[in-house]
């Protein structure tokens, strides 16, 4: 699947099946994250198997269930941090799709 196809195929998910990310996909996502971190100056990180990530009030407000994997995007506080986080984070999202 190329990036254009991935963009059309993606959709919002609020209820997750708990299926683990396989080793091959995890390796590919982490390789992309490493490359994008070097290019962007961000410190993105793939968090795997963290059941407390979306617990409590936030999970109820956002209606999340079963979410144990997520992408953390951290960077220096600059005026373009939001733009960078969105641009480079979306590349990871499309790869995951």
Paired tokens of 96: 């995951």
Per-residue pLDDT reduced to its tens digit, 44-92: 999 998 877 766 655 556 666 767 888 999 999 999 999 999 999 999 9
Q: How confident is the model at residue 97 (pLDDT cuts 50, 70, 90)?
A: confident
- What span, in angstroms and rounded, lies between the C-alpha atoms of 97 and 87? 16
Rounded (5°) CA angle 94-4-64 = 35
Paired tokens of 58: 């936030």
Query: Quick one: pLDDT at residue 72?
Result: 93
Residue 11 has pLDDT above 90, yes or no: no
Chain centroid to Cα 44, Å, comes to 9
- What span, in angstroms and rounded, lies between the C-alpha atoms of 93 and 97? 6
pTM for the structure as a whole: 0.78
How far is it between the farthest Cα atoms of the chain?
37
Please, are residues 72 and 45 in contact by the beta-carbon 8 Å criterion?
Answer: yes
């Amino acid at each position: 699947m190329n990036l254009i196809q991935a963009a059309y195929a993606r959709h919002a998910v609020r209820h997750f099946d708990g299926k683990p990310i396989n080793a091959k996909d995890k390796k590919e996502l982490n390789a992309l994250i490493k490359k994008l971190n070097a290019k962007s100056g961000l410190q993105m990180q793939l968090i795997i198997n963290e059941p407390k990530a979306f617990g409590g009030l936030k999970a109820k407000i956002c209606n999340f269930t079963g979410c144990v994997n997520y992408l953390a995007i951290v960077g220096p506080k600059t005026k373009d941090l939001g733009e960078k986080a969105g641009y480079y984070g979306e590349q990871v999202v499309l790869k995951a799709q």
